[in-house]
Amino acid sequence: MSTTTVITSRKGAAGLATELAELWQFRHLLGSLIRRELGLKYRGSIIRMLWTFATPLAQILAMTFVVRYVLGAGTKNATIYIMCGYLPWNFFQASVMESTVAIIGYYGILKKVYFPREIPILVTVCSNFINLLISIVIFAVIRWGIFPLFTGPTGPPPRELLLLPLILVLTFLFTASISLLVTAINYFYEDIRFMTQMVINFMLYLLPIMYNAEMIMNSTRIPSPNLRWVLYHLYLVNPLAWIVQAFKQIFFGVVNNAAPGSNALLPGAKFDYVYLELNIVTILLITVGSYHWFNQLKWKFTERP
């Protein structure tokens, strides 16, 4: 005897547990749309897949050129350090910017068919997250397969590499949270998308991608040691800055192959578990708050002028 599951629409925001339970009911739709999104990107074309990674690689090489040869601030291995920090950043910026128009792209369907409004955003974030996982595999081959050919043996991977799954989960949650926030606002005020692009472009230079957070502690341009200490700790309380720094630390550990006093681009300090605990709490609070706020607005999406 067959059974039929009936999913009915619901008006008004409910508790987070109810929203998550409803989202779970639509997991097959979510999975189908993610496969469709990836298929549109990669189906029948290896070249298309390579182009997905060509643009970030070109930007990494450009940043390496500026840091190494224009500013004279990097080591001869600057490219791989920048590449490591760029991995989570590329996932974040691509997910947030693509999510801003995700709901608008489903506007016609939203007025006719019921499904959780967060699904288009999650499809975008999840498809980019899969790209991140592929990029990490490629980077690991470069880090422990190709990189040692030019630098000599680099030793075993740091034990903190075992934290990579946890850091990936935190990266996903933080990115999905910001994507939900920005998308909800952009649905009613489309200028937010352009403002978001400006902020993200600016953030590229504020995050420890081309440099390391430890440079704040060692900067002679900040005369007060106490001020440097405060700025350094405030900097790493920022979840995105900490995520970028954590990627470098778990893939490279503590490296100190620069001449004393040089302004080298090195991972620097060892992994600090205090910041891990602080950012777990911070990201979970941001996730709950963002999802709650999104659920307060999502029932007005079909009322868009």
Most confident of 83-87, 170-174, 230-234, 253-257: 170-174
Measured at the alpha carbon of residue 229, what is the angle toward residues 226 and 232, in degrees to the nearest 5? 150
**pLDDT value of position 173:** 97
Percent of the chain with pLDDT over 90: 23
Angle, alpha carbons 54-59-65 (nearest 5°): 125
Report pTM. Answer: 0.83
> Binning pLDDT at 50, 70 and 90, where does residue 236 land?
confident
The pLDDT tens digits of the residues spanning 205-218 come to 888 887 778 777 77
- pLDDT, tens digit (0-9, with 9 covering 90-100), for 81-119: 888 888 999 999 999 998 888 877 777 777 777 778 889
pLDDT averaged over the chain? 79
More confident residue, 248 or 263: 248
What is the pLDDT at residue 206? 85
Cβ pair 200, 179 in contact under 8 A: no
For the beta carbon of residue 232, count every other beta carbon within 10 angstroms: 18
The residue-averaged pLDDT of 245-274 equals 67
- Sequential DSSP letters for 58-79: HHHHHHHHIIIIIS--S-TTHH
Q: Using alpha carbons only, how large is the chain's radius of gyration in Å?
A: 21
**pLDDT (0 to 100) of residue 73:** 55
Residue 12 has pLDDT above 90, yes or no: no
**CA dist., res. 186 & res. 191, Å (int):** 7
- Which of 36-50, 123-137, 182-196 is predicted most confidently? 123-137
Mean pLDDT of 7-16: 55
Taking 80 as the threshold, does the pLDDT of residue 136 lie above it? yes
Q: Which region holds residue 152: left if phi is over 0, alpha if psi is between -120 and 50, else beta?
A: left
Rounded to whole angstroms, the Cα distance separating 256 from 115 reads 53
Of the candidate ranges 4-8, 57-61, 113-117, 133-137, the one whose mean pLDDT is the lowest:
4-8
Report d(CA 91, CA 127) in Å as an integer. Answer: 10
User: Domain map of the chain by residue range?
Assistant: 27-303
Record the tokens describing residue 278, joined without a space: 């602080």
